[in-house]
Chain A
Amino acid sequence: MGFDYENYIRPGKLPHIWCPGCGHGIVMKGLIRAIDAVGLSKDMTSIVSGIGCASRLPGYLDFCTLHTTHGRGVAFATGIKMAKPEMDVICVGGDGDGVAIGGNHFIHACRRNIDITYLIMNNHIYGMTGGQFSPTTPTGAKASTTPYGNPDPPFDIAKLAIGAGATFVARGTAYHATQIEKLLTEAIRHKGFSVVEILDSCPTTYGRRNKYKSVIEMMNHLKDSAVPIAAAEKMAAEQLKGKVITGVLYKENKPEYVAEYRKLVERVQAG
């Protein structure tokens, strides 16, 4: 018997809003399979998002879902996890949502090491508003607000997460569909703040401005630029130029925020 996706998708909510060639649907599939692999309860799982194309994901899935304000998903998720620690909380969003307007919430959630899984679909552009450059748009790339090329240097989301204290950081791409499931499965199981960045592509607002001739060409770019971490360790810096390292990039076990707070409560109540 094949995998029962319909068990997790709300009836009548598909088709999704994502454009042909967008990888967000592939990522959603990976998320569903990871949730299934971990065996999360639909009643006891909350999926939270901010604003943007990627943030529309929770509406399609049959959980306790919360589509919040731009960049604030992680902050809402923090409230849910603190108030009801027995719930599993997954936050999803895009690059602009997560590391531009939501950057402050992102780094502090990393620092606290609160047990939330944060899935960032990084397509290097503000897609929903028509293709403005984001904090992950490559320098020199064209966007509707960088008609002469992007003067800004981009963020490396994974490095940012590690630097801020996240205890599980992984990166994959929308091309590597089966890896998405594996990375998210491990991330959800991890006790602490886990960040999974999935590099994605936006043919509609990024590809056509940046000389990608087709969706397949964009997908092939994701495929060709990805280097698994084990392979990367054996490569010289020169060989890694223009490549992105994928896989589990960082993992450590540290006290988790909510568990530590509940210990504090027990200590106070014991007097």
Chain B
Amino acid sequence: MSNKVAFMQGNEACAHGAIYAGCRFFAGYPITPSTEVAEVMASELPKVGGSFIQMEDEIAAMAAVIGASLTGVKALTATSGPGFSLKQENIGYACITEVPCVIINVMRGGPSTGMPTGPSQSDVMQAKWGTHGDHPAICLVPASVQELFTETVRAFNLAEKFRTPVTVMPDEIVGHMRERVVFPEPGELEVVNRTAPSVPPGEYRPYDTRFGDVPPLAAFGSGYRFHVTGLNKAEDGFPTTRADFVQAEEERQVRKIENAIDEIVTWEEYLLEDAEIAIVAFGSTARSARYAVNEARKNGIKAGLFRIITYWPFPEKQIAALASQVKAIITPEMNLGMTLHEVRRCVDGKAPVSGIFRVDGEPIGPGQILARIREVA
């Protein structure tokens, strides 16, 4: 049996990826440039018996997604810049209550209304620090239509496995460009479902650390009655101000992701084996960087590309290792230096790092990157 092949937009592939992953609930609010995700979900979900609802605002959409997920259903929302800001309140709620869910944020120019139809990569810090308080973050940054499909599937897997919200953040170019997509057959890609409790209802505690750092989550309506609150809580789910309980729960929630970094973090290396100059890029910018690397190689410059696929947790170890190998690192990005800051932190002075920044609504082309490669070569 041959795979279904389609020519489609990134946002459309994202929605199909969600359905493949078993997503059966979508709540959203219209916003450019992510709306096509909602449109495809509105069309596809009824076909598979799922539910689509357009809510009154972005905050409500995030709330509905968490409510749906608590019934055991995989749930998705999609938004862009201003909507991502509004969702932060309830993303924090999903973090502290440890309810799996996936948020698509198609990055457009900002701050505020910014440039609704222009591409950007300036929400990567918000994906980690956007909601208040200490909390874990997983954020994936695909660079192609196919990868937007597969990373959406992975986002659901990570959300379910680690009981956490996961953000997938294509820039507007990846969200809107059209490419060939090969639909995986059922079973071809791994699909993970959350762990159900193994104890009877009377013994169930929603944050029971006897089962490790990611305790099983029961579904509402499955015979398990429990309490969920956004207040600091104890293992039984009820609010507490007991210092030792609160400290332990907060630390566990961050630790559950930190201890799994090697399992979560993904990246792609292109011609890095003998590279003297490394480009660290992601999303559509990484596509320009790849072209620039090829051009540089044709001109005898040993350039290579480190493409970030998992932005959070940041690939710290890998980039630190890169620093001891190359003589210069360049970070082209559609923001004013967010990745530069992270890369410098990882490199810790072992190699010079310079950025190429664009926030004018235009993509960073290969020529701009190639010119910098020549400068530092």
Contact = CB atoms under 8 A, between A and B. Distances in A.
B224 to A, nearest CB: 8
B51 A75 contact: no
Contact of B70 (A58, A75, A80, A269): A80
Contact of B67 (A63, A78, A86): A78
A76 B55 contact: no
Interface of A: 10, 13, 42-44, 46, 48, 58-59, 62-69, 72, 75-80, 82-84, 86-87, 104-105, 107-108, 261, 264-265, 268-269
B68 A44 contact: no
Contacts of B370: none
B241 to A, nearest CB: 12
A83 B55 contact: no
A46 B63 contact: no
A72 B56 CA distance: 11
13 contacts: A43-B221, A43-B224, A62-B225, A64-B70, A64-B226, A80-B67, A80-B68, A80-B71, A82-B51, A82-B53, A83-B75, A84-B72, A104-B60
A44 B238 CA distance: 20
B46 A269 contact: yes
Interface residues of B, number: 44
A78 B229 contact: no
B357 interface: no
A69 B230 contact: yes
A107 B93 CA distance: 23
Given A72-B60, A83-B25, A104-B60, A78 B221 contact: no
B200 to A, nearest CB: 13
Contacts of A10: 227
- Majority DSSP secondary structure for residues of B touching A: mixed
Contacts, number: 138
A138 B329 CA distance: 64
B230 A75 contact: no
Contacts of A83: 24-25, 51, 67-69, 71, 73, 75
Nearest to A79: B67
A135 B202 CA distance: 42
B91 to A, nearest CB: 11
Contact of B229 (A44, A67, A80, A264): A67
Given A67-B231, A261-B51, A59 B75 contact: no
Interface string B112-149: 00000000000000000000000000000000000000
B168 interface: no
Q: Which of B67, B69, B224 has the most chain A CB atoms closer than 10 A to its own CB?
A: B67
B93 to A, nearest CB: 5
A16 to B, nearest CB: 13
B90 interface: yes
B27 interface: yes
Contacts of A46: 220-221
Contact of A108 (B24, B25, B46, B56): B56
Q: Give 8 closest A-B pairs by Cβ, nearest first.
A: A79-B67, A79-B64, A83-B68, A75-B63, A75-B60, A108-B56, A84-B71, A268-B46
Q: Which of A10, A83, A87, A268 has the most chain B CB atoms closer than 10 A to its own CB?
A: A83
A66 B70 contact: yes
B89 interface: yes
